[in-house]
Amino acid sequence: MRCPLVAGNWKMNLTAAEGEALVEELLHIANELFDIDVVVCPPFLSIPKIADVCRRSRVKLGAQNCFWKESGAFTGQVSVRQLIEFRVDYCIVGHSETRGRFGTLEVPEGTTGFFAESEETINLKIKTLLYHGVTPILCVGETLAERGGGITDQVIKAQLEGALKGVDPSELFGLVVAYEPVWAIGTGETCDAAEAERVCAEIRRVLGDIGEPEIADNIRILYGGSVKAGNAKELFAQPNIDGGLVGGASLNAAEFFAIIKGA
C-alpha cells in the first residue's frame, strides 16, 4: 500500500516570512491527516525558518535542488549535508526548470540549460541523496515537441535509466518519481487523467525493469503540471498516480489544502 504524497514546489516565490505564514495555515489542516504525506519545498534561504515550523507538525520539508559534493569550492551550491542539518526529508531533482528546457528562455533541445543539469548530474544527485537518507523526487517528462513526435515513452525511459544508472535496486525503495509533462508546467494545461495514468504505469514498468517489479510497486509516482483543486481528485484517483507535485497552486493554503484532500 503506497501512502499518497502531495508536495508543494514553491520555486522562487515567497519570502521566508511569507512562507512561514503559509505553513502556519497548513499546519492546522495537515495535522489532522494521518494517511497522507504533505511536503513543502521552499527556496533554500527559507529552509531554516520553515524547518522550525515543520518541526511542530506533520508537514515535511523538501528542497528544490542540491549539489552532490559534500563541501568545497562550488560557489552558489548547497550540499545534501547542509540540507539534512535542517531535517530536509525530500529533494526535487531534475525539474524541467533546472534541466533548462522550459519557459520563455527555453534553449534548443540538447544544449546546456540555465543550470547545466544533465542526466549525469541528476544521477550524481540521486546517489548522494539516497546515501544521506533523503528521498529524491525525481522529475521526468517530455516536451511538447517530443510528445508531438510520438517519443514520450522513449524520452521518459531514457530519463529514468540515466538518472538511476548504477543505483542499487534495493535503494529504489527510497525514491519518488514525478511525471511532469513539460508542456503542462505552469501553463494551466493539464495532462488528461487517462493519459497521465498510462504514462505513470509505463514509468512503473520501466522502474520494474531497472529494479524489480515488487520494488517498483512500492515507489510513489506523482503527477505534476498545472494541478489544481478542480482536477486533483480525478488525477489522484488513477491507480498508478500516488499524489502530486504542485507548483503555483501550492502557494495558496486553501487551494493547496483542497488538492491534498483530493489525494
- Name the residues annotated as catalytic: 95, 180
Quick one: which of 40, 50, 41 has its CA closest to 20?
50
Q: Does 255 bind ligand PEP (CB under 6 A)?
A: no
Q: Does 240 bind ligand PEP (CB under 6 A)?
A: no
Gap between the Cα atoms of 147 and 8, Å rounded: 26
Q: Which is nearer to ligand PEP, 81 or 114 (CB)?
A: 114
Q: Does 225 bind ligand PEP (CB under 6 A)?
A: yes
The only residue of 100, 136, 211, 224 in contact with ligand PEP, by rule CB under 6 A: 224
Minimum Å gap between C-beta 115 and ligand PEP is 14
Minimum Å gap between C-beta 248 and ligand PEP is 4
Q: Does 62 bind ligand PEP (CB under 6 A)?
A: no
The only residue of 50, 88, 124, 227 in contact with ligand PEP, by rule CB under 6 A: 227
Q: Which is nearer to ligand PEP, 50 or 211 (CB)?
A: 50
Q: Does 245 bind ligand PEP (CB under 6 A)?
A: yes
The only residue of 4, 5, 6, 9 in contact with ligand PEP, by rule CB under 6 A: 9
Minimum Å gap between C-beta 10 and ligand PEP is 9
Minimum Å gap between C-beta 246 and ligand PEP is 5
Q: Which amino acid is at 18?
A: E
Q: Does 100 bind ligand PEP (CB under 6 A)?
A: no
Q: Which is nearer to ligand PEP, 59 or 249 (CB)?
A: 249
Q: Under rule CB under 6 A, which residues in 155-184 are in contact with ligand PEP?
A: 180
Question: Contact region for ligand PEP (CB under 6 A) — 98-106, 155-163, 168-176, 222-230?
Answer: 222-230
Q: Does 59 bind ligand PEP (CB under 6 A)?
A: no
Provide the grid cell at 76: 552558489
DSSP states of the chain as a string? Answer: -PPPEEEEE-TT-S-HHHHHHHHHHHHHHHTT--SSEEEEE--GGGHHHHHHHHTTSSEEEEES--BSSSSSS-TT--BHHHHHTTT--EEEES-HHHHT--STTPPPTTS--TT---HHHHHHHHHHHHHTTPEEEEEE---HHHHHTT-HHHHHHHHHHHHTTT--GGGGGG-EEEE--GGGTTTS----HHHHHHHHHHHHHHHHHHS-HHHHHHSEEEEESS--HHHHHHHHTSTT--EEEESGGGGSHHHHHHHHHH-
Residues binding ligand PEP (CB under 6 A): 9, 180, 185-186, 224-227, 245-249
